[in-house]
Structure 1
Amino acid sequence: MSNSINLTINGIQHIGIPVTNMEASQQFYSRLGFSNVMQAPFTDNGGTGTCVMMRRGTMIMELYQLPEASLAEIRARSNGHVDHVAFDVDNIDLTFKTIKEAGFNILEPEPVFLQFWKNGCKYFNITGPDGERLEFNQVL
């Protein structure tokens, strides 16, 4: 590909799935051999949601439940929904700079810190041609 930018992506870090019942979703993925390796709250539209990272080997599924006020959209779906694919990167700031200079549609004004994992993580998202969300994430 002649117009490829110089960017290091280590692999898919996780796949994010919005859920309506965290307990049921954790039980479902546990039956498939995944285990909860990280759980943390987050804020969304003034409410508090829950994020759980379920791991099996090198695969991670991010299950997140939005606050009650934000769940209507998810409940209205009849066929589930993969929210985003996250790429693992070593240097989130350099990745952000490279993506910005290349002219991609970035959704955040700068990498966002979350108190996930032991020392937190930083991420940002871009959108693809059909609106798909691609996240770049560095676990700190």
Structure 2
Amino acid sequence: MSVHKIEHVGIRVSALEDSIEFYSRVIGLKLAGTLGDVDAPVRLAFMSFPNQTNVEVELIHKQDPEELANEGRVHHLAFTVSQIEQEYDRIAKLGLSGLDKQINQLPNGSRYFFFSGPDGERIEFFQPVQS
């Protein structure tokens, strides 16, 4: 089989610049580039972690939001964190919507919490069990 990695995850957004700012400020992603002019029917922004560009988040903005209305939706994006308590406190102080009331734990000891992005997309911060 020739499939060997996730290339990118595409997220439908209502305001491209707002989402670029959110993913930069809250997640720490850097803008790699954009495609499409401000008035183009479709505009794309590609973001990734600095020095780790093997997987990108693609933000997709269409002038006509109905064009994407029936397409599949991403359930959530998960990002690995190393200090989940500090990240939970940081996100709570930002006042972001949809924040879980507490850090949750899986039976294997991994810990996680969810909050919402600017278009209601669910974002998970996940701290795996240290081996």
TM-score norm. by structure 2 comes to 0.43
Specify which structure has the bigger relative contact order, considering alpha-carbon pairs within 8 angstroms and separated by 6 or more residues. Answer: 1
TM-score norm. by structure 1 comes to 0.41
